[in-house]
Chain A
Amino acid sequence: MSETGTSTRLPVGGSLGSLGVRLWPLLAPAGLTILISLLALMGSEVLERKATFMLINMVFVLGLYTFVGNSGVLSFGHATFMALGAYTFAFMTANVRVKNTTLPDAPGFLRDADIATWQAVALAAIVPAVFALIVALPLMRLNGLAAGIATLAMLFAVGVIVSQWQSLTGGNTAFAAIRRETDLYYALVIVVVLMPLVYLYQQSRFGLRLRGTREDLLASRSLGINTVRERTIAWVISAAIVGIAGAMYAGFNGTIDPSQFFLGARSAGGVTFLTIAMLVVGGISSLAGAVVGTIFLSGIAEALREVEKATDQRHITEVVLALILLLTLILRPRGITGGREIYWPFRREQTMRRPAAAPSAAGTSE
C-alpha cells in the first residue's frame, strides 16, 4: 500500500530540485551504490573485485525484484535465466579455438561465434527473455505456493538439460576461456542504466497494475486488470535483466559450469539462495529493499569470505547468511526497509502520502 501511495502522489513542480525530490526513491539507492563502488575503487584490487561481484548480484536482485517485488509471486527459478544469459555470453565471446576443441559437436555458428561484448550482453538478455516468454504461458497463471513449486521445477528441468546436454554445453565440465571484461566500471555502468529502468517500470501504469494484483487479486481482476499479462510483462523484463547478470558473471569469472547456477548436491543453496536472501532481507517489495539487501549481505558475505580464507573453513558464509535470513523472516518479515522506498527526508509535502493506510497495511498485505 505504501508503494502505491507514492505513485499516486501529485507532481510537485517543474524545477530540477523538485524533480530530484520526486526521484529520490531512485536517486538514493543509485547514489549509495555508486558511492560504495567509488570507495572500492580507491581500495585494493581485491576490494574492487568484491565490489564488482556485488554489482553482479545487484543486477540479479534488481531483476528478481522486478518480478517478485511487483507481483508478490515468489520465484525460485530465476537462476535459470542467469544460466541462459551466462551460456549465451559464453558461446558468443569464448575463444573460438578453445570452443572448437572442447565442444566439437556444438553447432558451427556457436563454435565460431565471436561478437562484440555489448552485442553478447544484449543477446544474453534476449535469449532468457524469449525463454521466459514461452514458459510464461503456463507459469504465470499460478499463484502462491503452486507458482513457487513450478518455478523450482523449471529450474531443475533446465538444470538437467544444461548439465546433461554434453555435446552442446559441455555438461558438467567447465565452459572456459570466456572473454573476461567484467570490471567495476563495466558493472557500474550496467547497474546505472538498469536501475532507472526498473524504477521506471515500477512507476509505469504496467507496474502499478501489477502491484494492484499483488495487493488484491480479486479486486484488481474486477477492475479489468489482466493478471497473467501484467505478470508476463514483468517476468520477461526480469528474465532479461537476470540474463545480463549471467553475462556479467560469465565475463567476470571466465569459466562457468551448471553447479554455479542450479541447485544440486554441490551448490548448497547457491545463487538462488543468495539472491532470495538479499531481496528478502532488504525488503521484498521495494527497489530500496533490493539495493540495500544486496549491499548489506554482500558486505557481510565478503567479510566472511576473508574469515573463511584465514581459517581455511569453507561454507561459514552460507551458514551465517542463512541465519540472517531466518532472523529477518522471524523478527522483521518486511525486511530492513520494511518494503518501503527511501523518500527525500527534508520535504514538507510528506502529507501527500496516503496518511493512515500506509503504516497499518504494512504488516498484512502479502
Chain B
Amino acid sequence: MLAIENLVVRYGSILALRGISLEVNEGEVVGVIGPNGAGKSTMLMASAAAIPVAEGDIRFEGETVLKERPEKVVERGISLVPEGRHIFHRLTVGENLELGATTRTDAAAVEEDRARVFELFPILKEYLGTPAGKLSGGEQQMLAIGRALLARPRLLMLDEPSLGLAPVVIDRVFETLEQLRKTGMTILLVEQHAERTLDLADRVYVLRTGSIELAGTPEDLAGNPQFEKAFLGFV
C-alpha cells in the first residue's frame, strides 16, 4: 500500500534520512521505533507530502506522492496524526472534527463517520462546543485521532501518540488502535514506546540516525539480542 524507497531528506546540511526503505501492506499495522532524532517524524511528514524530499520515492497504492500538494495526499487516503497532536486550541471540538472532513464531499457518509468516532470516543460528543484547548492531554489525543479518522483514511499514520500521556491514558490510546486494527485499518505507527508497539504491530522497523537498523516481526525482534539491549532494556 505504502512503499518508501531509498528516501533521503535533508534539513540544510543535516541529513535527517539517509536512504531508508519501508513497506506497509494493506490491513497491516507497522511500527517504527527508534530514539529521539532518528528521523521517524521526518519520514511521516515526507509521506504526508508536508516536507520536501531530496532523493528516493514514496508511493501510495502504486503512485508517487512526492509531487502532490498535502491536501491531495489526504484526499488519496493518507492521514497523519502528528507528534504533539496539534489540535486547534482556539477552535471547538466540533470545529476540529469538521476540519478533519475538509476533503470530503459525501456529507451523509461524513455523518456516519462522526457517529463512529463518537462511538470510539464518547467523551468528544460531550465536549462538542468546548474549545479544544480546554481538553486534557488524553482527550486531545483522542480528538486528534478522531479528527484524522474523519478524512476516512485508508492509511492512518500516527506520530508518538503516547507522548506526554499518563500510562492509563496510553493504555486507552493503544486499545483504540487495537480496535481500529480490527476494522481492517492500515496503520503506520511511530513510537518510542517499544514494548507496546511490539504488542500491537504486525511488523516493526527500527530507525536510528536516519537509517533502518533492523526490521522484522515482533517475535524476530524480541529474540534479537541487539534489539533487546537497545530498546527493551530501557522500558
Q: A residues engaging B (CB < 8 A)?
A: 1, 356-357, 360-361, 363-365
Contacts and interface: CB of A to CB of B under 8 A. Distances in A.
B167 to A, nearest CB: 31
A1 B10 CA distance: 16
Contacts of B11: 364
Contacts of A361: 12-13
B188 to A, nearest CB: 28
A299 B36 CA distance: 53
Interface in B1-53: 10-13
B229 to A, nearest CB: 30
Interface core residue of B11, B12, B13 (most chain A CB under 10 Å):
B13
A285 to B, nearest CB: 14
Contacts of B12: 360-361, 363-365
- The A interface is mostly helix, strand or loop, or mixed, namely loop
Contacts of B10: 360
Contacts of A364: 11-13
The 7 A-B residue pairs with the shortest CB-CB distance, nearest first, are A364-B12, A361-B13, A357-B13, A360-B13, A361-B12, A360-B12, A365-B12
12 contacts: A1-B13, A356-B13, A357-B13, A360-B10, A360-B12, A360-B13, A361-B12, A361-B13, A364-B11, A364-B12, A364-B13, A365-B12
Interface core residue of B10, B11, B12 (most chain A CB under 10 Å):
B12
Contacts of A363: 12
A68 to B, nearest CB: 21
Interface in B106-146: none
A1 B12 CA distance: 10
A356 B10 CA distance: 13
A1 B11 CA distance: 14
A364 B11 CA distance: 8
Nearest to A356: B13
A363 B10 CA distance: 11
Nearest to B54: A360
Nearest to B10: A360
A357 B15 CA distance: 11
B76 to A, nearest CB: 29
A211 B30 CA distance: 44
Nearest to B12: A364
Nearest to A354: B13
Nearest to A215: B12
Contacts of A1: 13
A361 to B, nearest CB: 4
A316 to B, nearest CB: 39
Contacts of B13: 1, 356-357, 360-361, 364
Contacts of A356: 13
A360 to B, nearest CB: 5
A297 to B, nearest CB: 29
A220 to B, nearest CB: 16
Nearest to A360: B13
B34 to A, nearest CB: 23
B54 to A, nearest CB: 10
Nearest to A365: B12
A357 B11 CA distance: 11
A14 to B, nearest CB: 33
A339 B69 CA distance: 31
A122 B12 CA distance: 43
A356 B11 CA distance: 14
A363 B52 CA distance: 13
B12 to A, nearest CB: 4
Given A360-B12, A360-B13, 11 more contacts: A1-B13, A356-B13, A357-B13, A360-B10, A361-B12, A361-B13, A363-B12, A364-B11, A364-B12, A364-B13, A365-B12
A364 B12 CA distance: 5
A298 B11 CA distance: 36
A182 to B, nearest CB: 44
A362 to B, nearest CB: 9
Nearest to A359: B13
Nearest to B11: A364
A360 B11 CA distance: 9
